[in-house]
Structure 1
Amino acid sequence: MNPLLAKEISGVWATLMVPLSADNSIDFAALSEEIDYLLASKVSGIYSNGTAGEFYNQNENEFDRISQLLAEKCEGASMPFQIGCSHMSPQISLERLERVKALKPSAVQVILPDWMPMDFREVIDFLEKMAAYASPVGLVLYNPPHAKQVLNPHQWERLLGKGIQLVGCKVAGGDSEWYKAMGGIMEKIAVFVPGHRLATGISHGAQGSYSNVACLNPVAARRWYENMVVDLQGALILEKRILRFFEEAIFPYIINQGYSNTAVDKFLAAVGGWGPISTKVRWPYKSIPKEEVTRGRKIAKKLIPEFINEL
């Protein structure tokens, strides 16, 4: 796969979630089935080892197997793919990056080291080295709202002003003032915002999403993005219904019950009912009880029926 330039990274990218067996091992047969479904859904691309992929809870053999499987299937289908090389340890993240370059991903993703927030000079040094090792593959900084260190628009400006070779980023998004402050950044790299607010992001110049909405239903998420291109106002109306669904069915698990973002993403997939993904996340993190899926589907059918597959 040829490396993607910043201007070539856009749309709805689906995350790879790891199906788990009863003994907490990865079910690679189910993972293969999941990738096949995502390929058939014709999303803009697929990425591995993000938050929903539980990158922080894999051993290195599992990481290599996941990366190899994704690369082989995406190459065979000419589907753009990104490999998340993230790890809490910068040393392990660098080692992962060095290994996956041979798989020729469209881009690689990294997080900022996670144990101690870094001085900004250390952020620059870290990203310079990661970008140099990744070259000619582009580097995407995975910096969602639950990251230990979330960069603000001024810091993004400083990073690019230092010549850091990034092609994209995953960020929390914000209000109109945030988008105004990020205007210069969006001209230089692919800025991806939360999936449930993608229409708003597109209206302000964002390029796409590493999408939690694609966890719910990758086909419907792709269709929604396509609608943004031809009928942005209609897509914004659908976004309001999506936000109501999240407020009623998703946010209570995060805000009131303390489940992880990974647990919520897998719950979304189970509610959507499109693939072999259960609500199970790896120990020691809590899984949303599978009995809750029925409740979530009932809310989804009421508010966003186009996102629900009949089981």
Structure 2
Amino acid sequence: MKHLSSNNLIGIWCSIQLPILADNSIDFNSLKEEMDMLTNTSIQGIYSNGTAAEFYNQTESEFDGINEMMADICHKKRFPFQIGASHMSPIISRERIRRTKALNPKAFQITLPEWLPLNSDEQLSFLAEVIEEADPIPVVLYSPGHSKTVLTPSDFKRISDRFPQLIGIKVGAGGLEWYAEMRKMNGGLAVFVPGHRLATGIKEGVAKGSYSNVACINPNAAQKWFEIIIDNIDEGIRIENQILHFFEEGIVPLARAGYSDAALDKLLWALSGRSTTSPRLRWPYIGVRDHVVEDTRKIAQRILPDFFQV
């Protein structure tokens, strides 16, 4: 399978979710069902071990089993996939790349280490090690806003100039000033913004796609929206405003109530009812309850009816 580059890393990619049983173990049967379903959609590809896949709360044998299953399914179907090798520990992140490199993903996703913030020299040291370990497979950096080390547009240019093997970044995005700075960056990275802000990101001349929370609701609908954005930006923005309306009414109150990003992504996944994966999170984290799923589904069906018809 040919690896990705900053030129062809585009579009909608959807995270697998981590199905957790009542005894706190991983439901690998539901996980296979998820992967089979996602690899029959129109999206660009799937990826493992993002936030919704709870990469921070797995044993290493579980990590290996998840990615071996994904690679087997995707290679058989010739469906693109990326492996999330992130971990709070830089040593474990590097070892995850080393162990799964033979699975030949189209790219690896990583985050910077957590617990302590990294200065600029430490950032470069970490990236140099993991990029060398991944070679010749390219790397995508996930830089969430809640990270201990928050990177700026100038930081992205600094690291992209140093590491051509770093082909993309997943960011939280910002306001007009942030987009202006990102346009100046000119670092050659494929920039991926949050799914519910994709039309704005493309309109601002910055985004090439999304590792999409919106795709959790309906992958095919998210892909169709991406194509609409490319063909008709005004219509794409109109749909984005609908999505933002749903988020403001159905998701933001839950975030304010203390639910984590992982809990909310799993909620979005559960809205369609297409999978046996429940919104349960692995201990000690708490997912939304079934009645919350039902209430949020009603809001989504009212505001985003097209996402339940595609």
8 Å CA contact 1:267–1:293 kept in 2: the answer is yes
8 Å CA contact 1:274–1:309 kept in 2: the answer is no
User: Partner of 1:268: helix, strand, or coil?
Assistant: helix
1:300 aligned residue: 300
1:193 and 2:187 aligned: no
The one-letter code sitting in structure 2 at the alignment partner of 1:85 is A
Q: How does 1:122-271 map to 2 (within 5 A)?
A: 122-163=122-163, 165-185=165-185, 188-205=188-205, 206-255=207-256, 257-271=257-271
- Alpha-carbon shift at residue 219 of structure 1 (Å): 1.4
8 Å CA contact 2:57–2:282 kept in 1: the answer is yes
- Distance in 1, matches of 2:201 and 2:273, equals 27
Mean Cα deviation higher: 199-208 or 239-248: 199-208
8 Å CA contact 2:46–2:80 kept in 1: the answer is yes
- Alpha-carbon shift at residue 308 of structure 1 (Å): 2.5
User: Partner of 1:278: helix, strand, or coil?
Assistant: coil
1:274 and 2:274 aligned: yes
| 1:283–1:26 CA distance, 2 compared to 1 (3 A) | same
8 Å CA contact 1:13–1:211 kept in 2: the answer is yes
- Give the paired residue count: 309
| 1:65–1:186 CA distance, 2 compared to 1 (3 A) | farther
Instruction: Give unmatched runs, 5+ long, in structure 2.
Output: none
- Alpha-carbon shift at residue 276 of structure 1 (Å): 2.2
1:42 aligned residue: 42
- Distance in 2, matches of 1:149 and 1:107, equals 22
Across the aligned residues of Structure 1 and Structure 2, the Cα RMSD in angstroms comes to 1.4
TM-score, normalising length from structure 2? 0.96
- Distance in 1, matches of 2:276 and 2:232, equals 33
- Alpha-carbon shift at residue 200 of structure 1 (Å): 0.7
2:87 aligned residue: 87
8 Å CA contact 2:154–2:185 kept in 1: the answer is no
- Distance in 1, matches of 2:277 and 2:62, equals 17
| 1:121–1:166 CA distance, 2 compared to 1 (3 A) | same
User: Partner of 2:220: helix, strand, or coil?
Assistant: helix
User: Partner of 1:115: helix, strand, or coil?
Assistant: coil
8 Å CA contact 1:131–1:164 kept in 2: the answer is no
User: Partner of 2:47: helix, strand, or coil?
Assistant: strand
TM-score, normalising length from structure 1? 0.96
- Distance in 1, matches of 2:229 and 2:253, equals 28
Identity %: 47
- Alpha-carbon shift at residue 186 of structure 1 (Å): 5.8
The one-letter code sitting in structure 2 at the alignment partner of 1:20 is I
The one-letter code sitting in structure 1 at the alignment partner of 2:16 is L
